[in-house]
Structure 1
Amino acid sequence: MKIFGTGLCLCATLSCSQILLFAGPSLPSDERTNGKSIRPAFAQQQSALQDGSAVLYDGWLSFNYGIVVSKDGYILAKESELAERNSLSVRIGEELYTDVEIVARNPRWDLALLKVEAANLTPVTWADSSELAQGSWVVANGATSRYQRRINVGIISAKSRAVKGLAPVVIGIQFTEDESSMIVDMVTKDTGAESAGIKKGDIITKFEGVGVSDRKSLIELIRDKIPGEAVELEFERDGENFKVEVELMARHEAYQDTHESRNDAMSGDFSKRRDSFPRVLQTDIPFNSRTIGGPLLNLDGECIGMNIARANRAESFAIPVEELRDVLVDLMADTQ
């Protein structure tokens, strides 16, 4: 055994099996955080998840969860996961609903409001506040069987905060800023900008009739738009002014970045969209992209937020209940 200062270098002289023996036996799997022996302690929360969460299916494959927010069939879901779904259906409790309508969207928060024809559902019970101390236990959906929601347990692992990022939708151009001008540097293939005939060298002047001169002003105007929405864009080319209609596209579809950071490579399955949220709760719950979308519960079984993104191997994000309820009011108003 080699000694360096006051530390010990075990790896140079011990085998892997010797190191494990030195560390002692590991905890049996049934007794770990999400093990079978632990689940009965969260029976109250499991019951709340069974009634208040919805399983979203594309055909026979479950791909996300949602939150039941009314007795008559309104459900909150993660908006970016709904694109290009061929056969959307929802299971609440044991009942399967195959007629599902997307009735409103809020891309800033990556939320959509779904509607199924139902009655006498049991919506989640909202907590008064999302404020819990770091280290507080929280509970969410894990894997699901056909009829039973399983729990996924973790803790609040950081203080609530904003997660910066870019607008969730894009025009399909990259540009350079030059003396208060936005000059198109590249047009992305198969985007609204390409279809509208925008070319390299064009100078973007207005978005929906509002003058734009830099990246920040454009992002603020586009942030609340939704994929598929048509917007009016004005630009200058060779001294002439042009006005075109451009269809917006989801950022993650337009720019599919194949480069992974080292952390991403170690993270496994994370969400398509995992940034640009005004405020989030952070937990260490080990989600994957398919188990995101449902309610985040405190130990009283109350909903303190909505699980909105698996960010990496150590971080999961949830929209706090304060903001979530405000957005829900706006979404419901859009259905009137």
Structure 2
Amino acid sequence: MSMREKTQIIIAASAYGAFFGITATMLTLAVVGLFPPTDSTQVDRPLNTFARVDEQVIDLVQTANEAVVNITVSKKISRSVPSNLDVSENLDVSGQLLEVGGGSGFVISEDGLIVTNRHVVEDEDAVYSIVYASGQSFEAQVLAKDPVLDIALLKVDGNNLPTVPLGDSDTLRPGQTVIAIGNALAELGNSVTRGVVSAIGRRVEAGDGNGRNEILDHAIQTDAAINPGNSGGPLLNLSGEVVGINTAISSRGQSVGFAIPINDAKKTIESVVRHGRIIRPWLGVRYVPVTPRLADEMQLPVLYGALIIDGTSDDERGVLPNSPAAAAGLQEGDIILEINGEKLEDKDSLAQLVARHEVGEEIVIRFVRKGEERVLRLILDEFPIN
């Protein structure tokens, strides 16, 4: 073959290679979206999907907002406070009712039963009012405060009030879209934020943004913004159902909020509806969950359970006086392993297992004392109001 023929073949091969290379590159760019495909429906489909989801969120927020309320906390002030008008003068507000805080809540019955956080309505001397998104305001009565969970129930007079349905928090999965509604910063009523379930079953110590800390068992972690004032507002799924009660934020990071699963609150709600008060079983111990790390640090004989411990002050006893635990003979340093055959593992706390039972019910407790496994029976009392 002559040199000229070889050159023609090489040039032809290079030309074909360049053609196919450019074609392949254009196909690749079309796949990644830099060059649009010729069929416009392939672009419209995902855009339409996102638009439909947005419309769904907008619709459910509009519906839920009718049942989400701002809670205002007012107190009579017995002193003078600095005036905003003149820093050199004091404003005499002695005896006047002034707004000193706020939170959120949501209506769950047509006759005006409202769920919120206990810490929102903790002050016995305060007056509480609820404000609807429409601006209507009503004075509210505090019906009950849960001694275990950060939950309280209020009541306003009304008929055929808009409500928000309760969902099933046990079906939540990490990555699921959720929406938080509340009175952000106690000033921006019915603010809406959107995020995902970051994790479930958390046991955390978190704050409400106002300096108060709360131990939360079995909490929902979400990156939907939960700000001070959002406390007590609903965490919704895309069906518009309440799956959590917004409760706390982490002071150590951003976009880390926590909510009480609504299933944990249903027994409290049912108790108030049926009995007019919260009836909870009571064991009467102070404890910390046993983890492998704690077991290693304290040289414990087991890797799970609930270790009964005294608090930091002399009056914070591990076993409370006059409690079912004290009557049955449990002691500080005992490690509770099981209740009625159910192990105290990561998914369940001692408080959760006790809450599944009824006041007056006898339970069987398996525990470890000084390396030896033991079993005892006790009868659960009603949780004392104080």
Query: Scaled by the length of structure 2, what TM-score is found?
Result: 0.45
Alpha-carbon offset, residue 130 of structure 1: 3.9
Long gaps (5+) in structure 1: 1-37, 166-263
Per the alignment, residue 220 of structure 2 pairs with 281
Partner of 1:259: none
* Aligned position for 1:162: 203
Given that 2:203 and 2:216 are in contact with CA atoms closer than 8 Å, whether structure 1 keeps it comes out as yes
Q: Deviations over 1:135-189 (max 9, x none)?
A: 2110011557999733111110113233369xxxxxxxxxxxxxxxxxxxxxxxx
SS at match of 2:191: strand
Superposed, which structure 2 residues align to 1:128-167 within 5 Å? 128-142=168-182, 149-163=190-204
Q: Structure 2 counterpart of 1:108, which letter?
A: V
Give the Cα separation in 2 of the matches to 1:42 and 1:303: 14
Cα gap change, 1:83/1:159 in structure 2, threshold over 3 Å: closer, same or farther? closer
Q: CA deviation at 1:131?
A: 2.5
Amino acid corresponding to residue 293 of structure 1 in structure 2: G
Match of 1:69 in 2: 108
Unmatched tracts of structure 2, length 5 or more: 1-52, 75-98, 278-386
SS of match in other structure, 2:192: strand
Cα separation, 2, equivalents of 1:331 and 1:57:
22
| 1:107 pairs with one of 143, 147, 165 | 147
The answer to whether the aligner puts 1:300 opposite 2:340 as a matched pair is no
CA distance in 2, matches of 1:270, 1:43: 28
Aligned to 1:117: 157
Higher relative contact order (CA 8 A, sep 6+): 1
> How much does 1:63 deviate?
1.5
State which drifts further: 55-64 or 45-54: 55-64
- Counterpart of 2:267, as a letter, is D
Note the 1:1-336 alignment, pairs <5 A. 42-59=57-74, 63-84=102-123, 86-94=126-134, 96-142=136-182, 149-163=190-204, 270-312=209-251, 313-335=254-276
Deviations 1:232-262 (A, max 9, x none): xxxxxxxxxxxxxxxxxxxxxxxxxxxxxxx
Distance 2:216 2:150 in 1: 8
Output the amino acid matched with 2:66.
D
Distance 1:146 1:41 in 2: 27
Aligned length: 197
1:79–1:105 contact (8 Å) kept in structure 2? yes
Counterpart Cα distance in 1 of 2:274 and 2:249: 29
Query: Following the alignment from structure 1 to structure 2, what is the Cα–Cα distance between the partners of residues 140 and 314?
Result: 12
List, as ranges, runs of 4+ consecutive aligned residues in structure 1 with deviation greater than 6 Å.
144-148
| Whole-angstrom CA distance in 1 between matches of 2:100 and 2:174 | 35
CA distance 1:151–1:130, shift in 2 (3 Å): farther
Does the C-alpha gap of structure 1 residues 328 and 295 become closer, same or farther in structure 2, counting only changes over 3 Å? same
Contact 2:116–2:232, Cα closer than 8 Å, also in 1 = yes
Rounded to whole Å, the distance in 1 between the matches of 2:73 and 2:133 is 17
Instruction: Give the superposed CA RMSD.
Output: 3.0
User: Which SS does the other structure have where 2:62 is aligned?
Assistant: helix
Contact 1:46 1:149 in 2 (8 A): no
Which residue of 2 is the match for residue 234 of structure 1? none
Cα-to-partner distance string for 1:105-156 (whole Å, 9 max, x where unaligned): 1031111110111111122112234432212110011557999733111110
Shift of 1:272: 4.3
Contact 1:156-1:283 within 8 A present in 2 as well: yes
Q: Give the Cα separation in 1 of the matches to 2:104 and 2:182.
A: 10
Whether the 8 Å CA contact 1:104–1:112 is kept in 2: the answer is yes
